[in-house]
Amino acid sequence: MKLLVTGGAGFIGPHFIRHVLQKYPTYSVVNVDKLTYAGNLENLRDVEADPRYRFVHGDICEAAAVREAARGVDAILNFAAESHVDRSILGADEFLKTDVVGTFTLLEAARELKIPRYVQVSTDEVYGSIDRGAFRESAPPKPTNPYSATKAGADLLVSAYWTTHRLPVLITRSSNNFGPNQYPEKVIPLFITNALEDRPLPLYGDGKNVRDWLYVVDNCAAIDLVLRAGVPGEIYNIGGGTEVENIVLTRQILRLLGKPESLIQRVTDRPGHDRRYALDCHKIRALGWKPGHDFGAALAETVRWYREHEAWWRPIKSGEFKAYYARQYVDRA
């Protein structure tokens, strides 16, 4: 099987590429990535010499480049996106381009080239916040921030290509991923690396927002299963089943690092901050998936990875991230 993976140089993409190359000796992967601030070829060093892997530096909004890369593949998996909520609050242009227009460009290529399978990697954020219970796949999208709105727009377009064109699409909606190689703008790597630097951990609002954490390799196994066994036209929720309040998560990180709680700094809340995400995962479980990692052990492993890979995150934090972070706090003040 030959796969086109887009956005394969970010956080989840490299884990997925590694997963398929290790698990399936006959699979090959073409990875199209624009290498935005979030793309990092260091995340793929261990696979780059594999003859079954090929990297193409390209933008999913460019139709000709997409068509060229997609020719002859058995499936497209679209991981490429602008993915950080706080950045979408600062400015949403790139989110509209990549998340919506980029998805459209890929769908058109898939339609024209009659690609047998298209997987859209989406998010639980499209449902919006839920106080009690959990969202099923049939719940209507109710996104609340520019990032989730563009992801929801993309999902609607993907579903429309099934209804209208019978393009064999599948959508995965996962909860918050964490693990090695996550860009340190997201809360877990931000808090781990800030604590390692003895810097404050900026906790938004009352710290009681809840996220359902999913170890990244478990998400990759689920996406692989959806690719192979999912029913075209269907949506699959993928949740870790571990709901944690941000303040509890923050204390857990500090404990794992042996750092004091005095590093916690309460800051102004994120505008439009969703209170709680929760997914009903009966459908993906019926396909035979469940999370394979315990949250506490996976968090400890993630903390260990950042501790041992300063050479990966220090250049990021003193480079692009620094300017973004300063801008974010000036904007919110």
Active site amino acids? 124-125, 147
Stretch that binds ligand DAU, among 33-41, 77-85, 161-169, 229-237 (CB under 6 A): 77-85
Q: Which residues of 39-66 are buried (b: 16+ CB within 10 A; e: fewer)?
A: bbeebbeebeeeebbebeebbbbeeebb
Kindly tell me which of 21 and 98 has the beta carbon lying closer to ligand DAU.
98
Q: Closest distance between ligand DAU and the C-beta of residue 204, in Å?
A: 4
3-class SS at 57? strand
When CB distances are held under 5 to 8 angstroms depending on the partner's kind, the choice from ligand NAD, ligand DAU, none that residue 13 binds is ligand NAD
Region of residue 274 (phi > 0: left; psi between -120 and 50: alpha; otherwise: beta): beta
**CB atoms near residue 257 (< 10 Å):** 16
Site for ligand DAU in 103-132 (CB under 6 A): 123-125
Q: Minimum distance from CB of 275 to ligand DAU (Å)?
A: 8
Nearest residue to the partner ligand NAD, using Cβ: 10
- Of 13, 17, 19, 24, nearest in space to 53 by CA: 17
Residues that bind ligand NAD (CB under 6 A): 6-7, 9-13, 32-36, 38-39, 59-61, 79-81, 83, 98, 102, 121, 123, 151, 174, 176-177, 183
Dist. CA 178–CA 173, nearest whole Å: 15
- Point out which span in 33-41, 111-119, 203-211, 217-225 binds ligand DAU (CB under 6 A): 203-211
Residue nearest to ligand DAU (CB): 123
Q: Closest distance between ligand DAU and the C-beta of residue 85, in Å?
A: 4
Q: What is the DSSP string of 185-204?
A: TSHHHHHHHHHHTT--EEEE
Among 31, 43, 98, 175, the residue binding ligand DAU under the rule CB under 6 A is 175
Only segment of 79-87, 103-111, 160-168, 302-310 that touches ligand DAU (CB under 6 A): 79-87
Residue 326: both structure tokens together: 């300063």
> Environment class of residue 200 by beta-carbon count within 10 Å: exposed (0-12), middle (13-18) or buried (19+)?
middle
Helices (H), 197-288: 216-229, 246-257, 282-286
The Cβ of residue 112 has, within 10 Å, a number of other Cβ atoms equal to 12
Binding to ligand DAU (CB under 6 A): which residues in 240-269? 246
Distance of CA 240 to the CA centre of its chain: 14
Joined together, the tokens standing for residue 192 give 């781990």
Select from 31-39, 102-110, 204-212, 301-309 the region that touches ligand DAU (CB under 6 A): 204-212
Q: Which does 306 bind (CB under 5 to 8 A by kind): ligand DAU, ligand NAD, none?
A: none
Binding site for ligand DAU (CB under 6 A): 83-86, 123-125, 175-176, 186-187, 190, 202-204, 209, 211, 246, 270, 277
